[in-house]
Chains A and B, each alone.
Chain A
Amino acid sequence: MDDSYGGGYSRTSYNAGGGDDAGGFVYGGSQGGSQSGAGKGYGDDTLRPVTIKQVIEAEQAYPDAPFRIDGLEVTQVTFVGMVRAISPQTTNVTFRLDDGTGIIEVKQWLDADKQDDTSKQAFALDSYVRVWGRLKSFNNKRHVGAHVIKPVADYNEVQYHLLEATYCHLFFTKSAPGGGGGDGSGANGGGNDSMFVDGGNGAGGDVPMNDGLRMVSARARQVYNWLSNSEGGNEGVHANIISQAMKISIGEVLKCGEELTSAGVTYTTIDDDTFAILDY
């Protein structure tokens, strides 16, 4: 994972952190070898569907720190909004977008080499667009730097986006709905009104919310919980024993173990089938 190191160092925000170098290093650096959400390189980027209110309320621990929503770092976001104003500037086009939850400025930087781009950006006022971009702060004013802005052709996309943003919020704050694998299931969009109820009720397992654990499946989280309550110690627990104790198939235990290990919350000990909690 060398690239995650490289990404970390090239960020100017590190220098801007001033005397906090040590802290900054622990944050991004110690996790260099893992794929958990704590890393800094592009390889760890996430793309999260959000409402504009979430963008406005995203927190920063200190100026230039990464933005956090629901306590989780966000790098790239996507949202929908109605175009309220378009103001072409010399270096960018600034849009004011309103999705009914708040209003935010979105800047699309102009590429001097591609003059045609400006003409393509003719969105009608009051039409819906979808934005993919990054949260930025400039002169203490927050905006979104857009990579892509596209018109929304089907109004259902607006509704579906808001539901997906809700789903993600519930997923991260209340844990996944029972049995559902992490990603994707929220993207169905259809008229499945029961999904919020599920999200709420699925809050059963009180998992200590470690950044790595947020990304794993519900089943893997159960295995993690079981492991953290077992007496395995440093030597770990063999998949066979986990399988018997939790009454799930050995194949599933191994899958969960692999998932947890790649999330950086467990590691394998004496052989590839023996897992222990990674404590640090």
Chain B
Amino acid sequence: MPFGQLLIEGLAMGACYGLFGLAVVIIYRTSEVINFAAGTMAVFSTYIAFHMITFYGHPFWLAFLFALIFAALLGMFVEFFFLRPAKNPTLLGLIVITIGVQLLFGGLVCWKWTADQQAFTIPFSYQVIYEPLPGVFMSQWAVAVFVIAAVIVTLLFFFFKYTKLGTAMRATQQNKHAAKIVGIKTDRIFAFSWAFSSVIGVTSAMLISSRTILDPEFMMEPFLRAFAAAVLGGLMSVPGVLLGGGIMGLIENFFGYAMPAWKPITAFVVIVLVLCVRPSGLFAKHYVKKV
């Protein structure tokens, strides 16, 4: 078994799942809504970058920056026009709205860019490979994934711990009404969470797309794994989600190597087993129910 190879590949894909899981968690932390449109929103923003590079010939970094801005605006747009108008919504109602948004954006992407597969290229190529140990290969893409994931998680840690906005987001999650009483504009916090989540989502989607393929459904499967990673990590914990992603990637890669036919379900079986023992995830400190 090529242990080193499987470890690197598993961790790299796991880091992508973990990053995308963060997009799910950031919204869940503030509003307890699972955003089922996260995958399609990331696809939409990735196509914006693709369009700028392919049709207008802009350099990647400009397209990347524009896609981040677009993703932020898209996140705020969804929160403002789809979730906020819902009167006395239940959690289930909000989740159904996100499923509707997913269908809407999926249709839009298909209409504008068709369902044809495309190649999306980033400056960190999977074709440039290094050999850190004899027989163990590591692509430039994998190095970039590790660095980007580490930077984002570090920034998020400091953001939630030490900034006023991060503290306000945590306060809103813990008690929306109390947060309002102390002067936090919770509506703005919700909009910001959606923008923030959307930006991290598109970053992860671009990394995944550059290694796999770009089509309107390319985030369907990664979204499920990212969601599973978030559940495994406890849905509230930022480092927990990334660790959950890493575990997902490793389980998939090692079991996929040993038993390829069982690969698609192995990770989910493990998650069900883990949740049977720890219902609130591996890294949640305790289960809190809002009243």
Q: Do A and B bind each other?
A: no
Instruction: Enumerate chain B interface residues (CB-CB to A < 8 A).
Output: none
